[in-house]
Structure 1
Amino acid sequence: MIEVENLTKRYRGGAAVDDLTFTVEPGRVTGFLGPNGAGKSTTIRMMLGLARPSAGRALIGGRPYAALARPLTVVGALLEAGDLHPTRTAREHLRWLARSNGIGERRIGEVLEETGMAAAAGKRARTLSLGMRQRLGVAAALLGDPEVLILDEPVNGLDPEGVIWIRNLAKRLAGEGRTVLVSSHLMSEMALTAAHLVVIGRGRLLADLSTEAFVAAHDGSSLEEAFMRLTGASVEFRSGGAR
Protein backbone atom coordinates (compact mmCIF):
# COMPACT_ATOMS: atom_id res chain seq x y z
CA MET A 1 0.00 0.00 0.00
CA ILE A 2 1.04 3.59 -0.65
CA GLU A 3 0.05 6.04 2.06
CA VAL A 4 0.25 9.79 1.52
CA GLU A 5 -0.39 11.70 4.74
CA ASN A 6 -0.76 15.49 4.83
CA LEU A 7 1.95 15.74 2.19
CA THR A 8 3.05 19.29 1.43
CA LYS A 9 5.75 20.79 -0.77
CA ARG A 10 6.25 24.55 -0.65
CA TYR A 11 8.36 26.67 -2.94
CA ARG A 12 8.98 30.37 -2.74
CA GLY A 13 6.05 31.07 -5.02
CA GLY A 14 3.55 28.90 -3.15
CA ALA A 15 2.60 25.31 -2.45
CA ALA A 16 3.02 22.78 -5.26
CA VAL A 17 1.45 20.08 -3.06
CA ASP A 18 -0.87 21.23 -0.29
CA ASP A 19 -1.81 18.95 2.64
CA LEU A 20 -2.47 15.97 0.38
CA THR A 21 -3.80 12.74 1.89
CA PHE A 22 -4.80 9.54 0.09
CA THR A 23 -3.98 5.83 -0.08
CA VAL A 24 -3.31 3.55 -3.03
CA GLU A 25 -4.54 0.06 -2.24
CA PRO A 26 -3.35 -3.25 -3.71
CA GLY A 27 -5.36 -5.30 -6.15
CA ARG A 28 -6.47 -2.52 -8.48
CA VAL A 29 -5.03 0.06 -10.87
CA THR A 30 -5.30 3.55 -9.41
CA GLY A 31 -5.15 6.45 -11.85
CA PHE A 32 -3.42 9.60 -10.59
CA LEU A 33 -4.88 12.54 -12.49
CA GLY A 34 -4.64 16.30 -12.51
CA PRO A 35 -4.17 19.25 -14.86
CA ASN A 36 -0.70 20.44 -15.82
CA GLY A 37 0.88 21.99 -12.76
CA ALA A 38 -1.39 20.12 -10.35
CA GLY A 39 1.55 18.61 -8.46
CA LYS A 40 1.39 14.98 -9.67
CA SER A 41 5.07 14.60 -10.50
CA THR A 42 6.12 16.46 -7.36
CA THR A 43 4.00 14.07 -5.30
CA ILE A 44 5.53 11.05 -7.00
CA ARG A 45 9.04 12.41 -6.46
CA MET A 46 8.31 12.75 -2.73
CA MET A 47 6.98 9.18 -2.64
CA LEU A 48 10.30 8.01 -4.09
CA GLY A 49 12.54 10.11 -1.88
CA LEU A 50 13.64 12.35 -4.76
CA ALA A 51 12.18 15.46 -3.16
CA ARG A 52 11.89 16.30 0.51
CA PRO A 53 8.42 17.23 1.80
CA SER A 54 7.91 20.53 3.56
CA ALA A 55 5.43 18.68 5.77
CA GLY A 56 3.68 15.33 5.95
CA ARG A 57 5.01 12.02 4.68
CA ALA A 58 4.67 9.33 2.03
CA LEU A 59 4.99 5.66 3.02
CA ILE A 60 5.39 2.56 0.87
CA GLY A 61 4.56 -0.63 2.71
CA GLY A 62 4.51 1.37 5.94
CA ARG A 63 8.02 2.84 5.49
CA PRO A 64 9.50 5.86 3.72
CA TYR A 65 11.36 5.04 0.52
CA ALA A 66 14.70 6.06 2.06
CA ALA A 67 14.30 3.35 4.72
CA LEU A 68 14.06 0.52 2.18
CA ALA A 69 17.26 -1.55 2.14
CA ARG A 70 16.66 -2.94 -1.38
CA PRO A 71 14.11 -0.51 -2.80
CA LEU A 72 13.74 -2.11 -6.24
CA THR A 73 12.44 -5.28 -4.61
CA VAL A 74 9.67 -3.29 -2.93
CA VAL A 75 8.70 -0.56 -5.39
CA GLY A 76 9.36 -0.20 -9.10
CA ALA A 77 9.00 3.20 -10.73
CA LEU A 78 8.94 4.60 -14.23
CA LEU A 79 9.67 8.33 -14.35
CA GLU A 80 11.68 9.93 -17.16
CA ALA A 81 12.33 7.42 -19.95
CA GLY A 82 15.28 9.49 -21.17
CA ASP A 83 17.14 9.24 -17.87
CA LEU A 84 19.67 6.69 -19.15
CA HIS A 85 23.45 6.66 -19.50
CA PRO A 86 23.84 7.18 -23.27
CA THR A 87 26.70 4.69 -23.80
CA ARG A 88 25.29 1.82 -21.74
CA THR A 89 23.40 -0.91 -23.52
CA ALA A 90 19.92 -1.83 -22.39
CA ARG A 91 21.26 -4.96 -20.69
CA GLU A 92 24.09 -3.03 -19.01
CA HIS A 93 21.60 -0.50 -17.65
CA LEU A 94 19.53 -3.27 -16.08
CA ARG A 95 22.64 -5.08 -14.83
CA TRP A 96 23.83 -1.93 -13.03
CA LEU A 97 20.44 -1.58 -11.32
CA ALA A 98 20.29 -5.28 -10.48
CA ARG A 99 23.71 -5.32 -8.82
CA SER A 100 22.83 -2.30 -6.69
CA ASN A 101 19.86 -4.19 -5.26
CA GLY A 102 21.20 -7.76 -5.08
CA ILE A 103 19.11 -9.00 -8.02
CA GLY A 104 20.41 -11.96 -10.04
CA GLU A 105 21.36 -12.01 -13.74
CA ARG A 106 18.52 -14.36 -14.64
CA ARG A 107 15.94 -11.72 -13.77
CA ILE A 108 17.48 -9.32 -16.30
CA GLY A 109 16.73 -11.74 -19.12
CA GLU A 110 13.20 -12.26 -17.84
CA VAL A 111 12.27 -8.57 -17.84
CA LEU A 112 13.90 -8.01 -21.23
CA GLU A 113 11.67 -10.75 -22.63
CA GLU A 114 8.58 -9.53 -20.80
CA THR A 115 8.93 -5.99 -22.12
CA GLY A 116 9.81 -6.96 -25.69
CA MET A 117 13.36 -5.63 -25.34
CA ALA A 118 15.32 -8.90 -25.70
CA ALA A 119 16.27 -8.22 -29.32
CA ALA A 120 17.48 -4.72 -28.39
CA ALA A 121 19.40 -5.76 -25.26
CA GLY A 122 22.76 -4.99 -26.88
CA LYS A 123 21.81 -1.55 -28.20
CA ARG A 124 23.19 1.56 -26.53
CA ALA A 125 20.68 3.85 -24.87
CA ARG A 126 21.43 6.76 -27.20
CA THR A 127 20.31 4.67 -30.19
CA LEU A 128 16.97 3.62 -28.70
CA SER A 129 13.72 5.20 -29.85
CA LEU A 130 11.49 6.88 -27.28
CA GLY A 131 9.19 3.85 -27.28
CA MET A 132 12.11 1.48 -26.68
CA ARG A 133 13.44 3.68 -23.88
CA GLN A 134 9.96 3.59 -22.37
CA ARG A 135 9.91 -0.21 -22.52
CA LEU A 136 13.38 -0.30 -20.93
CA GLY A 137 12.07 1.95 -18.15
CA VAL A 138 9.25 -0.52 -17.53
CA ALA A 139 11.78 -3.36 -17.50
CA ALA A 140 13.74 -1.49 -14.82
CA ALA A 141 10.56 -0.98 -12.79
CA LEU A 142 9.80 -4.72 -12.96
CA LEU A 143 13.38 -5.81 -12.24
CA GLY A 144 12.97 -6.47 -8.53
CA ASP A 145 9.54 -8.15 -8.95
CA PRO A 146 8.12 -5.46 -6.63
CA GLU A 147 4.75 -5.41 -4.91
CA VAL A 148 4.31 -1.70 -5.70
CA LEU A 149 4.50 -0.10 -9.17
CA ILE A 150 4.47 3.65 -9.80
CA LEU A 151 4.25 4.55 -13.49
CA ASP A 152 4.38 8.19 -14.61
CA GLU A 153 3.00 8.64 -18.16
CA PRO A 154 3.88 5.04 -19.10
CA VAL A 155 2.42 5.13 -22.63
CA ASN A 156 4.46 8.15 -23.70
CA GLY A 157 6.14 7.36 -27.05
CA LEU A 158 4.50 3.96 -27.44
CA ASP A 159 2.68 2.83 -30.58
CA PRO A 160 -0.91 1.51 -30.31
CA GLU A 161 0.35 -2.03 -29.68
CA GLY A 162 2.57 -0.73 -26.87
CA VAL A 163 -0.30 1.21 -25.34
CA ILE A 164 -2.44 -1.93 -25.19
CA TRP A 165 0.52 -3.85 -23.74
CA ILE A 166 0.96 -1.31 -20.92
CA ARG A 167 -2.78 -1.36 -20.21
CA ASN A 168 -2.85 -5.15 -19.95
CA LEU A 169 0.38 -5.22 -17.94
CA ALA A 170 -0.97 -2.78 -15.35
CA LYS A 171 -4.20 -4.75 -15.02
CA ARG A 172 -2.36 -8.06 -14.74
CA LEU A 173 -0.03 -6.77 -12.03
CA ALA A 174 -2.97 -5.38 -10.07
CA GLY A 175 -4.79 -8.69 -10.55
CA GLU A 176 -1.84 -10.40 -8.88
CA GLY A 177 -2.53 -8.30 -5.78
CA ARG A 178 0.10 -5.63 -6.38
CA THR A 179 -0.33 -1.92 -5.78
CA VAL A 180 -0.32 -0.06 -9.11
CA LEU A 181 -0.39 3.74 -9.44
CA VAL A 182 -0.50 5.19 -12.95
CA SER A 183 -0.18 8.91 -13.58
CA SER A 184 -1.45 10.00 -16.98
CA HIS A 185 -3.02 12.89 -18.86
CA LEU A 186 -4.77 10.53 -21.32
CA MET A 187 -8.33 10.27 -20.03
CA SER A 188 -9.40 7.75 -22.68
CA GLU A 189 -6.65 5.39 -21.58
CA MET A 190 -7.38 5.85 -17.88
CA ALA A 191 -11.03 5.03 -18.54
CA LEU A 192 -9.90 1.64 -19.87
CA THR A 193 -7.16 0.98 -17.31
CA ALA A 194 -7.93 2.46 -13.89
CA ALA A 195 -10.51 1.01 -11.49
CA HIS A 196 -9.96 3.84 -8.99
CA LEU A 197 -9.00 7.50 -9.37
CA VAL A 198 -7.14 10.04 -7.27
CA VAL A 199 -7.57 13.49 -8.79
CA ILE A 200 -5.68 16.58 -7.63
CA GLY A 201 -5.68 20.23 -8.61
CA ARG A 202 -3.43 23.00 -7.36
CA GLY A 203 -1.77 20.38 -5.20
CA ARG A 204 -4.98 19.55 -3.32
CA LEU A 205 -7.15 16.45 -3.37
CA LEU A 206 -10.25 16.87 -5.54
CA ALA A 207 -11.52 13.28 -5.75
CA ASP A 208 -10.68 9.82 -4.41
CA LEU A 209 -13.18 7.23 -5.61
CA SER A 210 -13.83 4.49 -8.13
CA THR A 211 -13.74 5.40 -11.83
CA GLU A 212 -17.36 4.33 -12.17
CA ALA A 213 -18.47 6.50 -9.25
CA PHE A 214 -16.43 9.45 -10.53
CA VAL A 215 -18.14 9.38 -13.90
CA ALA A 216 -21.58 8.81 -12.33
CA ALA A 217 -21.08 11.83 -10.06
CA HIS A 218 -20.77 13.99 -13.17
CA ASP A 219 -24.04 13.01 -14.84
CA GLY A 220 -22.67 9.90 -16.50
CA SER A 221 -20.52 11.83 -18.93
CA SER A 222 -17.24 10.45 -20.27
CA LEU A 223 -14.22 10.39 -17.97
CA GLU A 224 -12.67 13.20 -19.99
CA GLU A 225 -15.75 15.39 -19.62
CA ALA A 226 -16.06 14.58 -15.91
CA PHE A 227 -12.39 15.41 -15.39
CA MET A 228 -12.72 18.75 -17.18
CA ARG A 229 -15.76 19.69 -15.12
CA LEU A 230 -14.02 18.91 -11.86
CA THR A 231 -10.67 20.49 -12.66
CA GLY A 232 -11.83 23.48 -14.70
CA ALA A 233 -11.04 25.88 -11.87
CA SER A 234 -7.54 24.43 -11.32
CA VAL A 235 -4.94 26.58 -13.03
CA GLU A 236 -1.36 25.66 -13.78
CA PHE A 237 1.05 26.18 -10.91
CA ARG A 238 3.68 28.46 -12.41
CA SER A 239 6.28 28.66 -9.68
CA GLY A 240 8.82 26.13 -8.50
CA GLY A 241 8.59 23.90 -11.56
CA ALA A 242 5.78 21.69 -10.25
CA ARG A 243 3.70 19.58 -12.55
Structure 2
Amino acid sequence: MIEIHQLTKRYQNTVAVDRLSFTVKPGMVTGFLGPNGAGKTTTIRLLLGLAAPTAGQALVNGLTYGSIRHPLHEVGALLDANAVHPNRSAINHLRWLARTNSIGPARIASILEQVGLAGAARKRVGGFSLGMRQRLGIAAALLGDPGILILDEPVNGLDPQGVRWIRELMRALAAEGRTVLLSSHLMNEIEVIADRLIIIGRGRLIADTTVGELITSAGATSLEEAYLRLTDDATEHRAGGDRR
Protein backbone atom coordinates (compact mmCIF):
# COMPACT_ATOMS: atom_id res chain seq x y z
CA MET A 1 0.00 0.00 0.00
CA ILE A 2 1.06 3.58 -0.70
CA GLU A 3 0.19 6.15 1.96
CA ILE A 4 0.66 9.89 1.60
CA HIS A 5 0.10 11.86 4.83
CA GLN A 6 -0.02 15.67 4.81
CA LEU A 7 2.89 15.67 2.38
CA THR A 8 4.44 19.07 1.71
CA LYS A 9 7.40 20.09 -0.41
CA ARG A 10 8.66 23.65 -0.73
CA TYR A 11 11.40 24.92 -3.03
CA GLN A 12 12.27 28.38 -1.67
CA ASN A 13 9.08 30.38 -2.30
CA THR A 14 7.36 27.69 -4.37
CA VAL A 15 5.07 25.09 -2.81
CA ALA A 16 5.17 22.08 -5.13
CA VAL A 17 3.14 19.76 -2.88
CA ASP A 18 0.77 21.23 -0.31
CA ARG A 19 -0.48 19.07 2.60
CA LEU A 20 -1.36 16.23 0.24
CA SER A 21 -2.97 13.08 1.62
CA PHE A 22 -4.25 9.97 -0.15
CA THR A 23 -3.94 6.18 -0.11
CA VAL A 24 -3.34 3.84 -3.05
CA LYS A 25 -4.74 0.40 -2.27
CA PRO A 26 -3.75 -3.02 -3.64
CA GLY A 27 -5.78 -5.01 -6.13
CA MET A 28 -6.50 -2.14 -8.52
CA VAL A 29 -4.95 0.26 -11.02
CA THR A 30 -5.03 3.82 -9.70
CA GLY A 31 -4.62 6.67 -12.16
CA PHE A 32 -2.57 9.61 -10.86
CA LEU A 33 -3.65 12.71 -12.76
CA GLY A 34 -3.13 16.45 -12.76
CA PRO A 35 -2.16 19.34 -15.06
CA ASN A 36 1.46 20.18 -15.76
CA GLY A 37 2.97 21.61 -12.59
CA ALA A 38 0.35 19.97 -10.36
CA GLY A 39 2.98 18.20 -8.26
CA LYS A 40 2.68 14.65 -9.57
CA THR A 41 6.36 14.17 -10.34
CA THR A 42 7.41 15.78 -7.06
CA THR A 43 5.05 13.49 -5.14
CA ILE A 44 6.50 10.41 -6.85
CA ARG A 45 10.06 11.60 -6.20
CA LEU A 46 9.23 12.08 -2.53
CA LEU A 47 7.69 8.62 -2.39
CA LEU A 48 10.81 7.05 -3.93
CA GLY A 49 13.24 8.90 -1.69
CA LEU A 50 14.62 11.04 -4.52
CA ALA A 51 13.75 14.19 -2.59
CA ALA A 52 13.10 14.93 1.08
CA PRO A 53 9.72 16.28 2.18
CA THR A 54 9.44 19.62 3.90
CA ALA A 55 6.71 18.10 6.05
CA GLY A 56 4.50 15.01 6.15
CA GLN A 57 5.22 11.45 5.05
CA ALA A 58 5.25 9.30 1.93
CA LEU A 59 5.17 5.61 2.89
CA VAL A 60 5.51 2.28 1.11
CA ASN A 61 3.98 -0.54 3.15
CA GLY A 62 4.28 1.65 6.23
CA LEU A 63 7.96 2.53 5.65
CA THR A 64 9.84 5.32 3.95
CA TYR A 65 11.56 4.15 0.79
CA GLY A 66 15.01 4.95 2.18
CA SER A 67 14.52 2.66 5.16
CA ILE A 68 13.77 -0.43 3.05
CA ARG A 69 16.83 -2.69 2.80
CA HIS A 70 16.02 -4.15 -0.64
CA PRO A 71 13.52 -1.64 -2.10
CA LEU A 72 13.16 -3.31 -5.51
CA HIS A 73 11.43 -6.21 -3.76
CA GLU A 74 8.84 -3.79 -2.37
CA VAL A 75 8.29 -1.20 -5.10
CA GLY A 76 9.24 -0.97 -8.76
CA ALA A 77 9.14 2.31 -10.67
CA LEU A 78 9.42 3.60 -14.22
CA LEU A 79 10.06 7.34 -14.27
CA ASP A 80 12.29 7.99 -17.29
CA ALA A 81 12.92 5.34 -19.93
CA ASN A 82 16.00 7.25 -21.11
CA ALA A 83 17.75 7.10 -17.73
CA VAL A 84 20.02 4.24 -18.84
CA HIS A 85 23.67 4.42 -19.92
CA PRO A 86 23.56 4.14 -23.74
CA ASN A 87 26.69 1.95 -23.92
CA ARG A 88 25.33 -0.62 -21.51
CA SER A 89 23.44 -3.66 -22.80
CA ALA A 90 19.92 -4.38 -21.59
CA ILE A 91 21.03 -7.47 -19.69
CA ASN A 92 23.94 -5.67 -18.02
CA HIS A 93 21.66 -2.84 -16.96
CA LEU A 94 19.38 -5.34 -15.23
CA ARG A 95 22.36 -7.24 -13.78
CA TRP A 96 23.59 -4.02 -12.18
CA LEU A 97 20.20 -3.38 -10.61
CA ALA A 98 19.85 -7.01 -9.53
CA ARG A 99 23.15 -7.00 -7.66
CA THR A 100 22.08 -4.02 -5.57
CA ASN A 101 19.01 -5.91 -4.37
CA SER A 102 20.21 -9.54 -4.18
CA ILE A 103 18.24 -10.71 -7.23
CA GLY A 104 19.46 -13.83 -9.04
CA PRO A 105 20.25 -14.21 -12.78
CA ALA A 106 17.26 -16.47 -13.44
CA ARG A 107 14.93 -13.59 -12.65
CA ILE A 108 16.70 -11.36 -15.17
CA ALA A 109 16.23 -13.89 -17.98
CA SER A 110 12.58 -14.34 -17.05
CA ILE A 111 11.85 -10.61 -17.05
CA LEU A 112 13.59 -10.00 -20.37
CA GLU A 113 11.40 -12.71 -21.87
CA GLN A 114 8.28 -11.25 -20.26
CA VAL A 115 8.81 -7.76 -21.69
CA GLY A 116 9.80 -9.02 -25.14
CA LEU A 117 13.49 -8.08 -25.02
CA ALA A 118 15.09 -11.53 -24.81
CA GLY A 119 16.33 -11.23 -28.39
CA ALA A 120 17.85 -7.80 -27.75
CA ALA A 121 19.30 -8.55 -24.31
CA ARG A 122 22.93 -8.08 -25.36
CA LYS A 123 22.40 -5.06 -27.59
CA ARG A 124 23.44 -1.58 -26.47
CA VAL A 125 20.59 0.49 -25.09
CA GLY A 126 21.83 3.46 -27.16
CA GLY A 127 20.51 1.67 -30.24
CA PHE A 128 17.08 1.01 -28.78
CA SER A 129 13.92 2.72 -29.98
CA LEU A 130 11.90 4.61 -27.36
CA GLY A 131 9.45 1.74 -27.23
CA MET A 132 12.25 -0.73 -26.48
CA ARG A 133 13.57 1.58 -23.76
CA GLN A 134 10.11 1.70 -22.25
CA ARG A 135 10.05 -2.09 -22.16
CA LEU A 136 13.47 -2.12 -20.48
CA GLY A 137 12.24 0.40 -17.93
CA ILE A 138 9.24 -1.80 -17.19
CA ALA A 139 11.59 -4.79 -16.88
CA ALA A 140 13.61 -2.88 -14.28
CA ALA A 141 10.42 -2.01 -12.38
CA LEU A 142 9.34 -5.67 -12.34
CA LEU A 143 12.80 -7.06 -11.57
CA GLY A 144 12.30 -7.55 -7.83
CA ASP A 145 8.77 -8.97 -8.25
CA PRO A 146 7.43 -6.07 -6.15
CA GLY A 147 3.95 -5.72 -4.72
CA ILE A 148 3.84 -2.04 -5.71
CA LEU A 149 4.37 -0.60 -9.21
CA ILE A 150 4.68 3.12 -9.97
CA LEU A 151 4.63 3.83 -13.70
CA ASP A 152 4.95 7.29 -15.23
CA GLU A 153 3.67 7.46 -18.83
CA PRO A 154 4.45 3.77 -19.49
CA VAL A 155 2.85 3.66 -22.96
CA ASN A 156 4.94 6.55 -24.29
CA GLY A 157 6.68 5.39 -27.47
CA LEU A 158 4.90 2.04 -27.65
CA ASP A 159 3.16 0.86 -30.81
CA PRO A 160 -0.49 -0.33 -30.58
CA GLN A 161 0.63 -3.88 -29.81
CA GLY A 162 2.87 -2.58 -27.02
CA VAL A 163 0.08 -0.41 -25.62
CA ARG A 164 -2.22 -3.43 -25.43
CA TRP A 165 0.57 -5.44 -23.78
CA ILE A 166 1.21 -2.90 -21.00
CA ARG A 167 -2.54 -2.45 -20.51
CA GLU A 168 -3.01 -6.19 -20.03
CA LEU A 169 0.08 -6.38 -17.83
CA MET A 170 -1.24 -3.70 -15.47
CA ARG A 171 -4.60 -5.43 -15.24
CA ALA A 172 -2.91 -8.76 -14.50
CA LEU A 173 -0.67 -7.26 -11.81
CA ALA A 174 -3.66 -5.63 -10.10
CA ALA A 175 -5.61 -8.90 -10.32
CA GLU A 176 -2.74 -10.58 -8.44
CA GLY A 177 -3.37 -8.16 -5.58
CA ARG A 178 -0.56 -5.72 -6.37
CA THR A 179 -0.76 -1.96 -6.04
CA VAL A 180 -0.43 -0.17 -9.39
CA LEU A 181 -0.09 3.63 -9.56
CA LEU A 182 -0.23 4.94 -13.13
CA SER A 183 0.63 8.56 -13.94
CA SER A 184 -0.38 9.70 -17.41
CA HIS A 185 -1.81 12.55 -19.46
CA LEU A 186 -3.54 10.13 -21.85
CA MET A 187 -7.14 10.28 -20.68
CA ASN A 188 -8.32 7.61 -23.11
CA GLU A 189 -5.83 5.12 -21.67
CA ILE A 190 -6.68 6.03 -18.07
CA GLU A 191 -10.39 5.66 -18.81
CA VAL A 192 -9.80 2.15 -20.16
CA ILE A 193 -7.40 0.85 -17.52
CA ALA A 194 -7.91 2.68 -14.20
CA ASP A 195 -10.16 1.42 -11.40
CA ARG A 196 -9.66 4.53 -9.30
CA LEU A 197 -8.36 8.08 -9.75
CA ILE A 198 -6.25 10.40 -7.65
CA ILE A 199 -6.35 13.90 -9.16
CA ILE A 200 -4.24 16.77 -7.86
CA GLY A 201 -3.81 20.42 -8.80
CA ARG A 202 -1.45 23.08 -7.45
CA GLY A 203 -0.05 20.42 -5.12
CA ARG A 204 -3.39 19.66 -3.48
CA LEU A 205 -5.88 16.81 -3.73
CA ILE A 206 -8.80 17.60 -6.04
CA ALA A 207 -10.49 14.20 -6.27
CA ASP A 208 -10.18 10.63 -4.99
CA THR A 209 -12.83 8.74 -6.92
CA THR A 210 -13.61 6.20 -9.66
CA VAL A 211 -13.75 6.94 -13.38
CA GLY A 212 -17.51 6.37 -13.49
CA GLU A 213 -18.20 8.53 -10.44
CA LEU A 214 -16.13 11.40 -11.83
CA ILE A 215 -17.83 11.35 -15.23
CA THR A 216 -21.30 11.20 -13.65
CA SER A 217 -20.65 13.95 -11.09
CA ALA A 218 -19.28 16.25 -13.80
CA GLY A 219 -22.22 15.58 -16.11
CA ALA A 220 -19.70 14.60 -18.78
CA THR A 221 -19.62 11.96 -21.50
CA SER A 222 -15.95 11.01 -21.15
CA LEU A 223 -13.11 11.08 -18.63
CA GLU A 224 -11.31 13.74 -20.67
CA GLU A 225 -14.31 16.08 -20.54
CA ALA A 226 -14.82 15.48 -16.80
CA TYR A 227 -11.12 15.94 -16.07
CA LEU A 228 -10.88 19.24 -17.97
CA ARG A 229 -13.88 20.63 -16.13
CA LEU A 230 -12.54 19.54 -12.76
CA THR A 231 -9.00 20.87 -13.27
CA ASP A 232 -9.84 24.11 -15.09
CA ASP A 233 -8.99 26.29 -12.07
CA ALA A 234 -5.85 24.26 -11.31
CA THR A 235 -4.17 24.85 -14.66
CA GLU A 236 -1.17 27.17 -14.48
CA HIS A 237 -0.93 28.07 -18.16
CA ARG A 238 -3.88 28.77 -20.41
CA ALA A 239 -4.25 29.45 -24.14
CA GLY A 240 -3.23 32.97 -25.06
CA GLY A 241 -0.63 33.19 -22.33
CA ASP A 242 -3.05 33.80 -19.46
CA ARG A 243 -1.51 32.51 -16.23
CA ARG A 244 -3.53 31.91 -13.08
TM-score by length of 1: 0.96
Q: What is residue 189 of structure 1 aligned with on the other side? A: 189
Q: What is residue 136 of structure 1 aligned with on the other side? A: 136
In structure 2, give the amino acid aligned to 1:211.
V
TM-score by length of 2: 0.95
Q: What is residue 240 of structure 2 aligned with on the other side? A: none
In 2, Cα distance between the equivalents of 1:236 and 1:109?
A: 45
In structure 1, give the amino acid aligned to 2:174.
A
Q: What is residue 159 of structure 1 aligned with on the other side? A: 159
Q: Alpha-carbon deviation of 1:235?
A: 2.5
Give the superposed CA RMSD: 0.9
In 2, Cα distance between the equivalents of 1:12 and 1:130?
A: 35
Q: What is residue 214 of structure 2 aligned with on the other side? A: 214
In structure 1, give the amino acid aligned to 2:143.
L
Q: Alpha-carbon deviation of 1:14?
A: 1.7
In 2, Cα distance between the equivalents of 1:162 and 1:36?
A: 25
Whose relative contact order is higher, 1 or 2, with alpha carbons under 8 Å and at least 6 apart? 1
Q: Deviations over 1:94-125 (max 9, x none)?
A: 00000110000000011101101111101111
Does the alignment pair 1:16 with 2:16? yes
Q: Alpha-carbon deviation of 1:86?
A: 1.4
- Structure 2, unpaired ranges of 5+: 238-244
In 2, Cα distance between the equivalents of 1:77 and 1:99?
A: 17
Q: What is residue 41 of structure 1 aligned with on the other side? A: 41
Q: Deviations over 1:42-72 (max 9, x none)?
A: 1000000001111111000010000100000
Q: Secondary structure at the match of 1:168?
A: helix
Q: Deviations over 1:182-220 (max 9, x none)?
A: 000000000001000000001110000111111111114
In structure 1, give the amino acid aligned to 2:3.
E
Q: What is residue 106 of structure 1 aligned with on the other side? A: 106
Task: Report runs of 4+ in structure 1 exceeding 2 Å deviation.
Answer: none
In structure 2, give the amino acid aligned to 1:77.
A
Q: What is residue 177 of structure 1 aligned with on the other side? A: 177
In structure 2, give the amino acid aligned to 1:93.
H
Q: Secondary structure at the match of 1:69?
A: coil
Q: Deviations over 1:5-41 (max 9, x none)?
A: 0011111232111110000000000000001111101
In 2, Cα distance between the equivalents of 1:155 and 1:148?
A: 18
Q: What is residue 231 of structure 1 aligned with on the other side? A: 231
In 2, Cα distance between the equivalents of 1:232 and 1:115?
A: 38
In 2, Cα distance between the equivalents of 1:15 and 1:140?
A: 31
Does the alignment pair 1:204 with 2:204? yes
Q: What is residue 2 of structure 1 aligned with on the other side? A: 2
Q: What is residue 240 of structure 1 aligned with on the other side? A: none
- Structure 1, unpaired ranges of 5+: 238-243
In 2, Cα distance between the equivalents of 1:14 and 1:85?
A: 32
Q: What is residue 58 of structure 1 aligned with on the other side? A: 58
In 1, Cα distance between the equivalents of 2:236 and 2:44?
A: 18
Q: Deviations over 1:142-179 (max 9, x none)?
A: 00000000001111111111111111111110000000
